């Protein structure tokens, strides 16, 4: 009978380790097809069940994909170490909205001119709605941010929900249309307040401020909302935690 363990490791782990090393070292290059399950069974003198358990590990590591009728194909020659934004789901992006409401100052329907099209990442002439508002603390006594937002005409129905809302606009769109942002692109820069911006924020012209621009994209990578927020320096700090994602080890 075959010994079921080698060096205290399960047999499938030994096989997974060997195959992993072969892939990382380039002996099986990306795109190549690994030996079939049957071939691996004889090569390592193990049952098909054990072979499949080993290949399952490689799959979990993102090294291979498997398809019936084709085989096990090498997809990557390195073990990805991804960083994940922590916090339950997307709530870190809420941070600015907690205990705050958005008061709308003005709202207009627009068709994208050249400048807007460049900002929105869409073609000229597309139909959007634009709004300007301020985020104020729940009591309404302190203005935290001035926000310009662009919303694709498809989701125009949320415009009525926005004034006084304590949620971000993308969240209102999710509630009403069931559309979740598949991708969020942020840009953060420092700037100084113009005269008009300072007035809306009860601040002084020339004060330093943080500008955060967020593009919200659908699964098809179409931009459907853009929000540009302006925070006077002392009223807001953006913070962010990334945690390494440990993929299951092969050992």
Partner DNA sequence: CGCTATTTGTGCGTATGTATC
Partner DNA sequence: GGATACATACGCACAAATAGC
Residues that bind DNA (CB under 7 A): 2, 4-5, 10-13, 34, 36-39, 45-50, 52-53, 66-72
Spatial neighbors of 88 by CB under 8 A, at least 6 apart, are: none
Nearer to DNA, 67 or 195 (CB): 67
CA separation, residue 79 to residues 20, 35, 54, 83, 242 (Å): 9, 21, 16, 13, 18
Nearer to DNA, 59 or 218 (CB): 59
Report the C-alpha gap between 79 and 76 in whole angstroms: 8
Judge contact between 205 and 198, C-beta under 8 A. yes
Report the C-alpha gap between 151 and 129 in whole angstroms: 5
The alpha carbon dihedral of 233, 143, 148, 239 has a sign of positive
Task: Pick the binder of a copy of itself from 167, 184, 228, 247 (CB under 8 A).
Answer: 184
* Binding status of residue 118 toward a copy of itself by CB under 8 A: no
Residue 70 interacts, among a copy of itself, DNA, none and using kind-specific CB cut-offs from 5 to 8 Å, with DNA
Residue 12 interacts, among DNA, a copy of itself, none and using kind-specific CB cut-offs from 5 to 8 Å, with DNA
* Binding status of residue 4 toward a copy of itself by CB under 8 A: no
Contact track, a copy of itself, 216-245, x by CB under 8 A:
---------------x-x--xxxxxxxxxx
* Binding status of residue 155 toward a copy of itself by CB under 8 A: no
The alpha carbon dihedral of 216, 221, 224, 226 has a sign of positive
Contacts with a copy of itself, residue ranges (CB under 8 A): 80-86, 88-90, 180-192, 208-210, 231, 233, 236-245
């Amino acid at each position: 009978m075959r010994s079921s363990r080698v060096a205290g490791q399960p047999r499938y782990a030994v096989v997974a380790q060997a195959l992993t090393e072969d892939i990382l070292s380039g002996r099986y290059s990306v795109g190549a097809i690994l030996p079939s399950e049957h071939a691996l069974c004889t090569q390592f003198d193990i049952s098909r069940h054990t072979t499949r358990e080993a290949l399952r590990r490689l799959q979990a590591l993102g090294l291979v994909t498997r398809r019936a009728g084709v085989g096990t194909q090498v997809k990557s020659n390195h073990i990805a170490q991804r960083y994940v934004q922590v916090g339950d789901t997307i709530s870190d992006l809420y941070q600015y909205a907690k205990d705050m409401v958005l008061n709308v100052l003005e709202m207009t329907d627009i068709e994208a001119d050249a400048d807007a099209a460049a900002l929105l990442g869409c073609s000229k002439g597309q139909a959007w709605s634009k709004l300007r508002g301020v985020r104020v603390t729940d009591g309404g006594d302190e203005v935290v941010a001035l926000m310009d937002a662009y919303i694709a005409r498809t989701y125009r129905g949320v415009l009525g929900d926005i004034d006084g809302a304590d949620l971000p606009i993308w969240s209102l769109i999710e509630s009403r249309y069931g559309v979740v942002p598949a991708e969020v692109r942020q840009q953060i820069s420092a700037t100084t307040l113009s005269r008009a911006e300072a007035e809306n924020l009860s601040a002084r012209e020339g004060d330093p401020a943080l500008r955060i621009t967020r593009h919200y994209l659908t699964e098809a990578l179409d931009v459907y909302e853009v929000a540009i927020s302006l925070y006077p320096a002392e009223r807001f700090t953006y913070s962010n935690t990334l945690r390494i994602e440990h993929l299951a080890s092969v050992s």
